[in-house]
Structure 1
Amino acid sequence: MPPDPFKNLDPAQTVKVLPRHLAGPGPASPRTAWPFLSDKDWSLHQPEEGTAYANSPCLRLWTSFEPQPDNPRKGTWTIAANRVPFGPVAWRITLDASTPVELLHDLHTELLDLYREDQSRDLDWLHKNEIAPHEAYAPLFARGWSHQVKTDGTQTFLAPDGLGGLRHRYASAGSDGPTWTAWGGYPSEPRWQARFSFGTPTPLVAAFTVSLISTEPVHRTVKDVPFHTRHHLYVAAPVPAKQTTGSLPVAPPPTSPGLGRSL
């Protein structure tokens, strides 16, 4: 087993780490996850305690955060779309609050971008899923993720360390189960999961997977890094010598420019 790169660091020390799927949730709150807090057209409800939620001006799109401090997953984030205001849900995304906040932020940023495109160009990206599924998982191959296809209608992609994954139910049309499921941690006991229902726009799944494999390090305090997988993490920035008695593994620099949405 690789050594614990945080063993000799102060628990309050801030570090930059990779990969993202093992970094822990970070400061997960609507303030850090929602890019539309300053958008005057969105309706926002952010109480000191309890569920926070936001609605688009057209009332067909909403997102919420239900904190559960005593739950190991810390609560649930939900994004959903209705074809008409207050009508039946067309698609839904649910994510554990233990999901790295950077993934949540990038997902919500794509959501806002799609909404603005729909409004400005009279499109309907949020309800017409015309982008091929491979746009969501193709970026994984560039980062060395493995691929396995099963005859039960699913294909699974695993991170090189085996501690992160994405499952796609390509034969799940009309199914009540999630079409896409992502996770971080040991497959038998993941630290977090994200589920995308049938009908979820492919660009939203793609934004999530691109963020998942990003080579841009994330900031965490040592005490917030999950203990049972921290020996698989890399410290991606030099740490002052006085805070450690040995050398730390340093993540290699990105080998290619950061991936962005190009659908």
Structure 2
Amino acid sequence: MRLQTTYDPQPDERGKGTWTISAHRVPFTEPTWRITFDATTPVELLHDVHTELLDLYLEDRHSDQDRLFQDETAPHEAYAPLLTRGWSHAVKTDGTQTFLTPEGLGGVRHRYANSGSTRPAWRAWGGYPSEPHWAARFSFGTPTTLVAAFTASLISTVPLHRAVKDVPVHTRRALYVATTTAKQSGSTPVAPPPPAPVSGRSR
């Protein structure tokens, strides 16, 4: 009863609704931390965060740890992989640092100061910052392990299945296309890796 995920559909809104993960130290009280995703957020990102969340929950149940509320994972675990993929990094004196994809079609902002702020500690988006196709927000107190799972999923180069209508027009120029192959008996074919350098998934 300390964890819940809810979906609030809003088909007329830009993000088409919201997925929310809430964690409560005590059931039925105000959440200690919260993650929100626009409904347009790629499902792979939600899946990978929920998978890590389940792992944390099960680990806490079978140990004396409480990583859901006392996670000691350092913030660089979440953003260092972005830098290794060629994302840019800018730090401001207002206590934020921003990481942008090389083509400028996505980013992650980390608020490393002002933990009492009502604004999210982490914010990520896909598309242009002024008009993102989707956005995700992680409040202060959210385990950094979950943010790291999110960013790892964000830059994964595993090919994804998408219909053309599901890919925003302004992002199609950044796609890498992997040819599908028919399944053969015995072994599963593997799509060739995208050409280097790769900045992340085409999401």
Structure 2 length normalisation: TM-score?
A: 0.87
Deviations 1:36-83 (A, max 9, x none): xxxxxxxxxxxxxxxxxxxxxxx0111111222222311100001011
Could you say if the C-alpha distance between residues 144 and 254 of structure 1 is closer, same or farther in structure 2, counting changes exceeding 3 Å?
closer
Alignment of 1:251 with 2:194, yes or no, is: yes
Point out which structure has higher relative CO (alpha carbons under 8 A, 6+ apart): 1
Mean CA deviation greater in 128-137 or 194-203: 128-137
Q: Is the 8 A contact 1:215 1:254 kept in 2?
A: no
Q: Is the 8 A contact 1:81 1:91 kept in 2?
A: yes
* Structure 1 residues not aligned, in runs of 5+: 1-58, 240-249, 256-263
Q: Matched residue of 1:235: which SS?
A: coil
Deviations 1:148-182 (A, max 9, x none): 11111100000111111000001121111100000
Q: Matched residue of 1:183: which SS?
A: strand
Could you say if the C-alpha distance between residues 193 and 84 of structure 1 is closer, same or farther in structure 2, counting changes exceeding 3 Å?
same
Alignment of 1:86 with 2:28, yes or no, is: yes
Match of 1:217 in 2: 159
Q: Is the 8 A contact 1:236 1:252 kept in 2?
A: no
Q: Is the 8 A contact 1:178 1:197 kept in 2?
A: yes
Q: Is the 8 A contact 1:172 1:198 kept in 2?
A: no
d(CA) in 2 for partners of 1:238, 1:82:
44
Alignment-mate amino acid for residue 208 of structure 1 = F
Alignment-mate amino acid for residue 111 of structure 1 = L
Match of 1:233 in 2: 175
Match of 1:73 in 2: 15
d(CA) in 2 for partners of 1:155, 1:130:
20
Match of 1:159 in 2: 101
d(CA) in 1 for partners of 2:70, 2:29:
17
Larger Rg: 1 or 2? 1
| Structure 1 segment 1-263 matched on structure 2, within 5 A | 59-237=1-179, 251-252=194-195
Q: Matched residue of 2:62: which SS?
A: helix
Q: Matched residue of 1:121: which SS?
A: coil
Q: CA deviation at 1:131?
A: 1.4
Question: Hey, which bits of structure 1, 4+ residues long, moved more than 3 A?
Answer: none
Deviations 1:194-222 (A, max 9, x none): 00000000000000000000010111111
| Identity of matched residues, % | 70
RMSD: 1.9
Q: Matched residue of 2:4: which SS?
A: strand
Structure 1 length normalisation: TM-score?
A: 0.68
Alignment-mate amino acid for residue 197 of structure 1 = S
